[in-house]
């Protein structure tokens, strides 16, 4: 039986983590607070409390050659430095190409993530956790004990309990 993995956030890091987990034969579920992918690249005029936002005319300062996923290059007609809307378009293309959306549960926010034990394994960090969540839409699938066996999260989301 494959290990289940919880990934918090469907921004670029969360999407890459989701794809890598699938490539390794794991059973990931990505939990996204908003109603779509993109993380901080998802511009909105109505910023939710606790959610960072970019400004409407933001252009990435990393070139498309340096910021592309290694297994999914940017289309040639994209500009070298991407306006946020084009970067979000690229993330949508990546999500569709690898069929990632079916592994993402939207409108789920976490109240707290309790660390039970953490240990380091070279460059991979494995943190068994207890998830306390507030659901805002979709139902949440759980493992046998209601807990994922691994957790991948963006460092900006970590808060010591």
**Residues 3-61 pLDDT 10s:** 888 888 899 999 999 999 999 999 999 988 888 999 889 888 887 777 777 888 999 99
Contact predicate 29/152, CB 8 Å: no
Q: CA 131 to CA 146: how far, in whole Å?
A: 9
pTM metric for this prediction: 0.73
| Integer CA distances (angstroms), 2 to 25, 46, 84, in order | 7, 40, 36
Report the CATH fold assignment for 4-157. FAD/NAD(P)-binding domain (3.50.50)
Query: What mean pLDDT, rounded, does the chain reach?
Result: 76
The residue extents of the domains of the chain are 4-157
Q: What is the dihedral of CA 152, 158, 160, 161, to 10 degrees?
A: -70
């Amino acid at each position: 039986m494959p290990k289940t993995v919880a990934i918090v956030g469907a921004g670029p890091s969360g999407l890459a983590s989701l794809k890598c987990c699938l490539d390794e034969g794991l059973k990931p579920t990505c939990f996204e607070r908003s109603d779509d992918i993109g993380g901080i690249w998802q511009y909105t005029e109505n910023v939710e409390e606790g959610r960072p936002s970019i400004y409407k005319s933001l252009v990435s300062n990393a070139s498309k050659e340096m910021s592309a996923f290694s297994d999914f290059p940017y289309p040639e007609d994209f500009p070298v430095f991407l306006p946020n809307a084009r970067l979000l378009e690229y993330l949508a293309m990546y999500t569709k190409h690898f069929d990632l959306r079916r592994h993402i549960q939207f409108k789920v926010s976490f109240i707290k993530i309790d660390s039970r034990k953490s240990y380091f394994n070279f460059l991979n960090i494995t943190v068994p956790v207890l998830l306390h969540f507030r659901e805002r839409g979709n139902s949440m699938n759980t493992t046998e004990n209601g807990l994922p066996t691994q957790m991948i999260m963006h460092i900006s989301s970590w808060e010591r309990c």
